[in-house]
Amino acid sequence: MRGVFRWALEVDLVKVDPTAGIKNPKKKKTRGFIKWSEAEAALYEDKYPLGTKERVWLDVLLYTGLRRGDAVLIGKQHVSTIMVEVDGVLVPRKILTLRTEKGGEQITVTIPILPVLQRTLDAGPVGDLAFIVGDRGHPLTKESFGNMFSESARAIGLEKRSAHGLRKLGATRAADNGATDKELQAIFGWIGPQMPALYTREADRKRLATGAMHKLEENAARTSIPSPHLQVRAAAKNSP
């Protein structure tokens, strides 16, 4: 309504903008899309083994870190081979290169194809110009793919699970394995430090808590003071 009345005021269709000065209602803060758990990803892999289109969907999302709108676009035309040095020896490595767009900005991401993803792509089914395909082997729009992916999750009992929730699991995995903010930005095509910081902070808390939890037990042992009631009972029991 605000936009309509601003336009109407500019073209002299109205004399007053009735929306002027009205504040937007406060939005309820949520955590957004539900993040997949490792157990849920394992269940999906079990129900949709190699050789199914659903497994291609999962692994393309999980092992590229791409948003669904970019994931439906990638195919063989985005694959190239570069030589990388491993233990002093040059070996070929397949990579995906894609210009992604989010928030009006285009970013080129370079994604090495992990062996687990290559195995899935080799098993198929994949299309000629898109790895992600539907029942007839045709490419999908991001909307159709998003709906079909969510339906495949619901079919095995995973309610309210989305493609973006799987992207969150990928970011969590990377952060838990020690990825830095800059590395997360490079993998997931994020601009600025806000998004990667969400995942690295959570991963840091996990590591710190795991490494420091034993200090609670040691501190309790050092500062433990026997109850006076127990001391009185012990004295009475030992008296002649």
pLDDT of residue 234: 61
pLDDT of residue 158: 96
For range 7-24, the mean pLDDT: 86
For range 179-192, the mean pLDDT: 90
How many Cα neighbours within 13 Å face the side chain of 37?
6
For range 115-144, the mean pLDDT: 95
Summary mean pLDDT of the chain: 87
- For residues 171 and 67, what is the distance between their CA atoms, to the nearest angstrom? 12
> What are the tokens at 143?
């909307």
Which residue in this structure is represented by tokens 């009006």?
104
Confidence of residue 79 (pLDDT cuts 50, 70, 90): very high
Q: Comparing 98-112, 189-203, 210-224, which segment has the lowest mean pLDDT?
A: 210-224
pLDDT of residue 207: 87
pLDDT of residue 85: 86
pLDDT tops 70 at residue 217: yes
pLDDT of residue 216: 80
Which residue in this structure is represented by tokens 């000065």?
21
Confidence of residue 2 (pLDDT cuts 50, 70, 90): confident
> What are the tokens at 221?
């042992």
Which residue in this structure is represented by tokens 């909307």?
143
Which run of H or E residues covers position 112?
Answer: strand 105-112
H helices of 26-141, in order, are: 38-47, 53-64, 68-71, 115-123
State the CATH class of domain 32-209. mainly alpha
Which residue in this structure is represented by tokens 């699970």?
161
Please state the domain extents for the chain: 32-209
For range 123-150, the mean pLDDT: 95
DSSP 76: G
DSSP conformation letters of 190-240 = --SSHHHHHHHHHHHHHHHHHHHTHHHHHHHHHH----HHHHHHHHHHH--
Among 55, 56, 60, which Cα is nearest to 44's? 55
For range 36-52, the mean pLDDT: 97
> What are the tokens at 49?
């083994």
For range 33-56, the mean pLDDT: 96
